[in-house]
Amino acid sequence: MTHPAPTAPTAPASAAPFAHEDAADWYRGAVIYQVYPRSFADSDGDGIGDLAGIRARLPHLRDLGVDAVWISPFYASPQADAGYDVSDYRKVDPVFGDAADAEGLVRDAHELGLRVIFDIVPNHCSEEHEWFQRALAEGPGSASRALFHFHEGRGEAGELPPNDWESIFGGPAWTRVEDGEWYLHLFAPQQPDLNWDNPVVREEFRSVLRFWLDLGVDGFRVDVAHGLVKAPGLPDIGRTGQVGLLGNAPMPFFDQDGVHEIYRDWRRVLEEYPGERVLVAEAWTPTIERSACYVRPDEMHQAFNFTYLATDWDACALREVVDTTLEAMRRVGAPATWVLSNHDVTRHTTRLGNPPGSGTQMVTPGDPVLGLRRARAATLLMLGLPGSAYLYQGEELGLPDVTDLPDEVRADPSFHRAAGQEGFRDGCRVPIPWSGTSQPYGFGPREGGPSWLPQPDAWRELSVEAQTGVAGSTLELYRSALDVRREQPSLGAGDEVEWLDAPDGVLALVRRGEDGAPVVVTTNLTSEEVRLPLPGGLLLASAELAVDGDEAVLPADTTAWWLG
């Protein structure tokens, strides 16, 4: 029995596809900026960012020098997990605006030369999605229940969950409904997992993709891309403890081979449209080689490099992950990607100020001076590597995580469930400062207006306004880095690096372009200054350095770019 898809509203008037002479290759060397809508810019003063706010701030992204903007979910949602619980994939949630705002955002971005990537959340939907509401109403054995993972429980009276899987947010991955069956949710109970073995689910998402492609969107970041297909029979894991996103143990609900046919199908949908539309995998896999499976020539275009993000500030470890990444991606003809921060992990300004091995989420502020110095150096190293780079909103301002948020303001569902994902994602989601000397620092339209999470007083000194035109500011460092990266043919896209001999704790690599002079990237990851043979003319450095005759004096925790 087939099951009807939710009634779709009429798609907004189609926007023209983004035209660019390098359209076929744009993503291979692109710098893509993540916008977390509720924390970017608030146009109406309700304390929550929105699409109109994003539209108004797009010139900042153009001036920063990025190539594309990735926008986290803004779809209709009860907001149990900040929009990653979608109740209607074709509607804009009123808290963020309406369909006209979405259409206008894509149009405005294209006029400014920016491509737009929307988030899509296919692993699970909201408990308020009409499919799930129908499944609850129609009961066991219904076609509606077959759209999800409903099963009888174990035990004499079915009182135990069907298996031992745990939620990423903590606690059992199963919730029992009134008629006695249990449904699977790898995240919060308000986010039931969809059953991707059901052809109705697959057809529905093809329709959703086309809906937004018709609007003119340039691609999709695919949430939990590794989780859609579960192992047949839903077997027990056979061990206890929290299931971490960065765990190395293969899980029967993650990274199953069956996901790849889904993305081959999606790739065919994107190829129906003019221009180069892209798919980006959020795939937390045990190895970089497994991540490469998602970007084979007929599947996705990019996959986030979470192994790089999670690597400590250590020269040997970073060199190894760079080499492993480039080799794995070269084998499948895909570009490498590099990322240091996003909406799910502690900002790297804070993370790098903590001792090695602290993980990707933490509550301690660490050493803020050391953290910022290392973060600036890490950014120049990342932007000097071959491939595509992702920036998270506010990192261009050097924003730290906010580690002292009161419990009563926290919104992350993992905070309210035992041991789930450590529960500290709110700290990287505090609204960013734009201008002024009092909260919300230009995030909203009026001084003293609300902000859904409180901002630290010190952020008045980190706003876009406070840093613009200030030599040595983190904002101007980012602007300069992206300018140089765009101007130098040897930087950006590519798949090769040449390592140079360097002292212990120092990385030195050469990038060579066909039409440009080589660029040398040197990073001192030690706590002492080092002297290196002068690699060439200085292009840019993350901190002040000296040239002494034929030697470069590289301070501790500093990266420099040199034109050979």
pLDDT at 3: 37
In angstroms, rounded to a whole number, what is the distance separating the alpha carbons of residues 292 and 337?
11
pLDDT at 413: 62
pLDDT at 414: 59
Q: How does DSSP classify residue 167?
A: -
In angstroms, rounded to a whole number, what is the distance separating the alpha carbons of residues 105 and 246?
34
Active site residue 272: yes
User: Tokens 């077959």 label which residue?
Assistant: 146
How far from each other are the two terminal CA atoms of the chain, in whole angstroms? 66
Q: How far is CA 376 from CA 333, 353, 559, in A?
A: 30, 12, 8
SS3 per-residue string spanning 173-227: CEEECCCCCEEECCCCCCCCEECCCCHHHHHHHHHHHHHHHHHCCCEEEECCCCC
pLDDT at 415: 61
pTM: predicted TM-score of the whole model, two decimal places: 0.92
pLDDT at 20: 44
* Secondary structure E strands in 290-441: 302-303, 337-339, 388-392
Are 43 and 90 in contact, with CB atoms under 8 Å apart?
A: no
Which of the residues 46, 152, 203, 272 is marked catalytic? Answer: 272
Per residue of the chain (564 residues), give pLDDT as tens: 333 333 333 444 444 444 444 467 999 999 999 999 999 999 999 999 999 999 999 999 999 999 999 999 999 999 998 899 999 999 999 999 999 999 999 999 999 999 999 999 999 999 999 999 999 999 999 999 999 999 999 999 999 999 999 998 888 999 999 999 999 999 999 999 999 999 999 999 999 999 999 999 999 999 999 999 999 999 999 854 444 444 444 578 899 999 999 999 999 999 999 999 999 999 999 899 999 999 999 999 999 999 999 999 999 999 999 999 999 999 999 999 999 999 989 999 999 999 888 778 776 788 999 999 999 999 999 999 999 999 999 999 999 999 877 766 776 665 655 444 455 788 899 999 999 999 999 999 999 999 999 999 999 999 999 999 999 999 999 999 999 999 999 999 999 999 999 999 999 999 998 777 999 999 999 999 999 999 999 999 999 999 999 999 999 999 999 998
Which of the residues 67, 204, 223, 396 is marked catalytic? Answer: 223
Active site residue 103: no
In angstroms, rounded to a whole number, what is the distance separating the alpha carbons of residues 415 and 418?
8
Are 428 and 95 in contact, with CB atoms under 8 Å apart?
A: no
pLDDT at 16: 42
Are 530 and 545 in contact, with CB atoms under 8 Å apart?
A: no
* 332 three-class SS: helix
Are 84 and 71 in contact, with CB atoms under 8 Å apart?
A: no
Nearest to 429 by CA among 82, 94, 78, 68: 82
pLDDT at 250: 53
In angstroms, rounded to a whole number, what is the distance separating the alpha carbons of residues 437 and 136?
51
In angstroms, rounded to a whole number, what is the distance separating the alpha carbons of residues 400 and 472?
18
Q: How does DSSP classify residue 479?
A: H
Q: Please tell me whether the peptide bond between 445 and the residue prior to it is cis, using omega within 30 degrees of 0.
A: no
In angstroms, rounded to a whole number, what is the distance separating the alpha carbons of residues 299 and 118?
18
